[in-house]
Structure 1
Amino acid sequence: MSASKRRSTVNSWILFLLVVGACLFIYYQSENVKEKKNVPLPTKLHPVVEKDKDELIKRAKARGISIVITDGFRTFDEQDKLYAKGRSDKGDIVTTVRGGESYHNYGLAIDFALKTANGDVVWDLQRDSNRNGKADWMEVVALAKDLGFSWGGDWEFKDYPHLQKDFGLSIENLKNGERPPEQE
């Protein structure tokens, strides 16, 4: 068999294997797609997130740190308005996701800030109002993590005020109607 005929045969086999592989990939992907459940969207914070939010405020106060929850549940429309900031609307970019793409939209996230003694709300990551040599912000983050929250400051796109509980569910799961249990 000539070299060019061998090359042609090998190329034909490679093409055949690529087509078969693509067909198998498409088949298995379609088998793994879950049917979307028709469940209503949440309208408030998840009960566990609500309870742990209150516990976070209490634990921070016990350490001499006053915090305020600046955001919690957010509708898809509210999320889209935030997404427009720094894009089609004036202001700084505050989020990288549109409505339906945030754990806030499913009642699973909160944002916090520090509250000063005179009542000002600040996002100061270095502030040490309880004078224990530790940044209040990071103390709150540690308390939140102890309660099972994950922190947006650990992400590539830093979202320092953001705390969430995903209950092992991805945004895709939530969009498909999966919801976490009402209790832990």
Structure 2
Amino acid sequence: MKHMKTAFSVIFLLVLGGFLFIWIHNELEFREELKERPAPSGLHPIVEEKKNELIEKAADIGIDILITDDFRSINAQDNLHSQGRTEPGQIVTHAKGGESYHNYGLAIDFALRLANGDVVWDIKRDGNGNGKADWFEVADIAKELGFSWGGDWRHFKDYPHLEMNFGLSIDELQKGWRPEDVME
């Protein structure tokens, strides 16, 4: 009986080890596929598609939005980061060049556009008159489309900011990992 338990334990460990080996191999292979893709020069295709859907869905409920920023070069990010620090203006980001999802084509910023063409960043405005702040309605639509919203951040609230990180950290993006261009 004792030998039988030992045999079952050994078989169990071998099977478990095999599953772990296959899982780790597949995970490493997946991560390897993400590596060493060229640096982006524009929005990721899925982010571009979802951005366009966001504009349409907001318009469907009477909210006109303007995408004020999307892909941002590392130089542009550094210039923005210097604002309020070494350059005049208010601090608008804590991310240096290479530390923002904008630098990898995975983020957009939006604002509300009024009927007269003016652009506002009024998060309390209810331009469609339904009793809800337009800004939060847009954020809710964006989250339904798969974006994360900077207004949900715990510390530095970035209300215009929407991003899709595809499960990749800034560190991984800096190492050259890139998300796939297709939705599953």
**TM-score scaled by length of structure 2:** 0.80
Q: Report the residue type matching 2:137 in the other structure.
A: E
Task: State the distance in 2 between where 1:117 and 1:102 align.
Answer: 32
Q: Cα RMSD over matched residues?
A: 1.5
1:4 corresponds to: none
- List structure 1 runs of 4+ shifted beyond 3 angstroms: 34-39
Measure the CA separation in 2 of the matches of 1:49 and 1:39: 17
Is residue 141 of structure 1 aligned with residue 139 of structure 2?
yes
Q: Which residue of 1 aligns with 2:177?
A: 178
Q: How much has 1:39 moved relative to structure 2?
A: 3.2
Partner of 2:55: 57
Show the counterpart of 2:161: 162
Distance 1:37 1:131 in 2: 47
With the length of structure 1 as denominator, give the TM-score of the two structures: 0.80
1:113-132 to structure 2, matched below 5 A, reads 113-132=111-130
Aligned pairs for 1:54-133 (under 5 A) are: 54-133=52-131
Structure 2 residue matching 1:42: 3-state secondary structure: coil
Structure 2 letter corresponding to 1:40: P
Which structure has the larger Rg over C-alpha atoms?
1
Report the count of equivalent residues.
151
2:112–2:119 contact (8 Å) kept in structure 1: yes
CA distance in 1, matches of 2:35, 2:138: 36
For residues 37 and 59 of structure 1, what CA distance do their matches in structure 2 show?
A: 34
Q: Where do 5+ consecutive residues of structure 2 fail to align? A: 1-30
Q: Describe the superposition over 1:51-90 as per-residue Cα deviations: whole angstroms up to 9, x where unpaired.
A: 0000000000000000000000000000000000000001
CA contact (8 A) 2:35 2:178 kept: no
Q: Secondary structure at the match of 1:113?
A: strand
TM-superposed CA distance for 1:40, in Å, is 1.8
Unmatched tracts of structure 1, length 5 or more: 1-33
